[in-house]
Every structure is written in C-alpha cells, then in structure tokens.
Structure 1
Amino acid sequence: MSRIGKREIIIPENVSVNIETNKIKVNGKHGLLERELSNLLKINLKDNKILIEINKQTKQANQLHGLSRVLIQNMVTGVDKKFYKILIAEGVGYRFQVEKKLLTLNVGFTNPVKFEIPNDLEVKLESNTKIIINGIDKEKVGLFAAKIRDIRPPEPYKGKGILYDGEKIIRKVGKTGR
C-alpha cells in the first residue's frame, strides 16, 4: 500500500467535487477538471475529504494508489489556485513574443519558431526574455513549458538557451588555446 495514497485530500471551501464510480469532476473558481481513474481503486468523499482505497490488492493497484491521489490533489489545487511555470530566454537576441494565441520564439534559428497556445493555458509576457505560463491543469502547464524549452535547451559552455526560472546550469570550461 502506498504511503502517499493513504493520506486524505482536504477540499477547500470554494471547490466542489463530484464522484461517479471511477470518474471524478472537480469544480472551482478557475474552472472545471475531470479525470477517469482506474477501476482498481475506490474513491470516497466524506465531509470535505477525499480518501482513495484499493479494491483488490494487486501490484498494479498499489502503483496506481499514490499516483491517483497526487493527480486528484493537483486537480483540487489547480481549480483553487492556478499552476504556473516561468521560462527565461538567455542569449544575445533571444526573445519571446505573444500575439493573441500565438507564441513566437526568436532563439537563434533563421526563422522564428511559432507555437499555438492551447485554449486552457494563458501565456503572459513579463519582458522580452521572460514568459509566465498559467493554467489549472499542472500536467498541461508542464508539458507546454517543456515543449518550449526543448526548442533550445540551455547549453553548458555559454549558458545560452531557454531555461526555467531558478534552474542552475552547470558550466563547463571550454578548450584552452596553446
């Protein structure tokens, strides 16, 4: 049995939760999230607390126990307070541009790289080199940020690239001339 899965999830006052067999819907001030969970688990709702129990002890059920608890916790947190990721473009001429639902990256390629911003995410341009990605679904925020970062990950010699806020790049020493 998972130690994380045993812990109960406390639901804030402004969040409502509906459970139908193995489908859970979480509604809050920022929106609605729903997810279908495995039928190996049973979800119980008792006075503003969610508890996840295993129907039948199997290896797969034990694996899904903690995962499902964390996914539901992220849903509850996301509809109450949004999740965000901050990306910074380091390098000469590297910059971001946001126009309606289009994110444009100028990161050293001949042509700018364009991304369509998903409907459930919000991208704010704090400066030319810094963007904030907001959303209620932690998974989608992280995937979109990772997709942007993969275009030009930070390199260890000059430190150029797109990096997360607070990310430390371990710098390498370049070649020494004779």
Structure 2
Amino acid sequence: MSRIGKLPIKIPESVDISLLDSEITVKGKFGTLQTKIPEMIGIHQDNGVLVISLKNQSRNVRSLHGLYRTLINNMVIGVSEQFNITLILQGVGYRGVVESKTLVLNLGYSHQVKIEIPDKVSVEIEKNTTINLKGCDKEQLGLFAANIRAWRKPEPYKGKGILYKGEQILRKAGKSGK
C-alpha cells in the first residue's frame, strides 16, 4: 500500500470541498479547482480531514493511490495559500515587462518574445530581471514557468539564461588558448 496515499489531508477552514460522483471541487479564497477521480478510489471527509481509500487492491488501482492523494492535496494548498515560482533573467540586456495579459521578454534575440499569460496565473516583475509567478493550479503554473524558461535555458559557459530561483549552473571551462 502507498505510504503517501495513506496520509490524511488536513482541510483549512477557508476551504470548501464538494464531492459529486467522481468529480471533486475545491473552493478557497484564491480560486476554484476541480478534477475527476477514478471510480476505484474512494474519498471520505471527516471533521476537517480528507481520507483517500481504495475500493479494490489491484496493482493498477494501488499505483493511483498516492498520485490522487497528492493531486487533491495540491488543490487544497493552491486555493488556500497559492504556489510561487520565481524566475531570474541572467544575461546582459535580458529583461521582462508585463503588458496587459502578455509577458514581453528581451532575451538577446532580434525580436521581443511575447508570451500570453494564462487566466489563473499572475505575473509580477521586480527590477526588470526577476519574474514572480503565482497561481492556485500547480500544474498550470509549472507548465507556464517551463514555457518561459524554454526560450533561453541556462548555458554552462557564460551562465546566461532563465533560471529558477536557487538553481546553480555547473560552469564549464571554455576553450584553452595557446
């Protein structure tokens, strides 16, 4: 049995959870999230605690136990606290600006990179080189951050690129001249 799947989920007072058939909806102060749960997985709510159980013990069902517990826990955390991802633009002339619902980046190309900001994600820029992303949906937030980073991944020779906060780049030595 999954060790993660057995753990109960504590529900904050500001979060409302509703279960209809195989769909779970989580509402909080930062938004509403919903997802479908397979019928083989049971959910019980008792005194501010949510418990995920299995209806049968087949191998396929057991493999989903911890996954759906984690997905539901991320939904609860997202609507009550929000998730944060910080990206750092490192390079000469690299900077970003938010224009209405578009993130405009100068990344050393001959043109500006324009990226549409999803509805459930908010973007703040500090000092032109630090991008703070906030959102209640962890999957959508991580995907958006990865799409931004894909425009300039960090390179090991000069250390330029778009980095996650706290990320270390393993630097390589360049060509040795004679």
Q: TM-score, normalised by structure 2?
A: 0.98
What's the offset of the Cα at 1:44? 0.9
Q: What residue is the counterpart of 1:165 in the other structure?
A: 165
Code of the aligned partner of 1:76 = V
Question: Which consecutive unaligned segments of at least 5 residues does structure 2 have?
Answer: none
Q: State the secondary structure of the residue aligned to 1:76.
A: helix
What's the offset of the Cα at 1:46? 1.1
User: Counterparts of 1:143 and 1:16 in 2: how far apart (Å)?
Assistant: 26
Q: What residue is the counterpart of 1:98 in the other structure?
A: 98
Q: What residue is the counterpart of 1:44 in the other structure?
A: 44
Q: What residue is the counterpart of 1:82 in the other structure?
A: 82
Identity of aligned residues (%): 49
8 Å Cα contact 1:25/1:34 also seen in 2 = yes
User: Counterparts of 2:164 and 2:107 in 1: how far apart (Å)?
Assistant: 15
What's the offset of the Cα at 1:57? 1.1
Q: State the secondary structure of the residue aligned to 1:143.
A: helix
Q: Deviations over 1:53-87 (max 9, x none)?
A: 11111121111100100000000001100101000
User: Counterparts of 1:81 and 1:159 in 2: how far apart (Å)?
Assistant: 33
Q: What residue is the counterpart of 1:135 in the other structure?
A: 135
What's the offset of the Cα at 1:21? 2.3
Q: What residue is the counterpart of 1:62 in the other structure?
A: 62
Q: State the secondary structure of the residue aligned to 1:72.
A: helix
User: Counterparts of 2:11 and 2:175 in 1: how far apart (Å)?
Assistant: 56
Runs of 4+ in 1 over 4 A off after TM superposition: none
8 Å Cα contact 1:85/1:133 also seen in 2 = yes
Question: Which consecutive unaligned segments of at least 5 residues does structure 1 have?
Answer: none
Q: Deviations over 1:111-168 (max 9, x none)?
A: 1111010111100111211110110111111110011001100000000000101001
User: Counterparts of 1:172 and 1:6 in 2: how far apart (Å)?
Assistant: 45
8 Å Cα contact 1:90/1:163 also seen in 2 = yes
Q: State the secondary structure of the residue aligned to 1:14.
A: coil
8 Å Cα contact 1:123/1:131 also seen in 2 = yes
Q: What residue is the counterpart of 1:73 in the other structure?
A: 73
User: Counterparts of 1:57 and 1:27 in 2: how far apart (Å)?
Assistant: 31
What's the offset of the Cα at 1:90? 0.4
